[in-house]
Amino acid sequence: MPWDSLAPAAEGPKLHLGAGLAVRLGDARLAKEWEKRLTAWRGMSEQAREKDFLKFARRSLEAKNATPTAARLTAQTRMLRWQGGVVFLWTFGVVTGVYRWFGDGLEVLAAGGALFLMLWLQAIVFWRVARRVEPRLPHRFWKTLAMAFLPQQAMRAADQICRAQPFLCHPLAAHELLDAETWRSLAVRFWNQARHGHAKSAELQRRALEAFFSQRGIAPSELEEVPKREEGSAAFCPRCLAQFRQADGVCQDCGGVALKEWPAA
């Protein structure tokens, strides 16, 4: 979309870009942040916009934006996650097992009563945690009430706390939180997307990632992996690494990226 045609407008978690295009973000505040950012970029010159984008990308890739927040959310939701797991096991394991073996009887009523107490305990813990969340968690009372009666809501209580405190960072900024193999698979995926992207910003994305990998002592060539060849495969997409039986084609899922044949053994 040309910058002149861009008209960002946030509507809850949805960000309207103009010309009927919209993207949905995880939170209304993130949509507002991106509305302001895109509005500012629209009024800049091409050179100033590129410079500001690289600055923003560098900041979003810094581990200090992810590690402390992840640690804080982990501490806040530890009890909610533990109790949510207990509610899950009790609902789909104990209650169903008791009903299977004893049918309608006092045993099922006892299991259901225990589940009811678990739900209220989860609701109380959620209320106490939600009161300390800044900014204020929207619809806190009604979410707590739902958790007190609905197991599916009690199981996902920790998600409500995390969604209320979004933070803007790139997934690769979590290198201190992930094991090496998981982080490397993310790095390969994002590098392939930038290297074989069709967007006008693909070159800027490559520059930002190259600078990030350079800081970590990783050469981009190390991330250009070839997937393990499956039987009957003639080519693969260098962007998403999907495999195809015909070599003369494009990957429609990646916007028409030309397929790449397997290197000679």
Q: Is the pLDDT of residue 121 over 70?
A: yes
230-240: pLDDT as tens digits: 988 999 998 88
Contact between residue 165 and residue 70 where contact means Cβ atoms under 8 Å apart: no
Contact between residue 17 and residue 23 where contact means Cβ atoms under 8 Å apart: yes
Model pTM score:
0.72
163-195: pLDDT as tens digits: 887 777 889 998 888 899 999 999 998 998 888
* CA–CA gap between residue 91 and residue 4 (Å, rounded): 54
* CA–CA gap between residue 187 and residue 198 (Å, rounded): 19
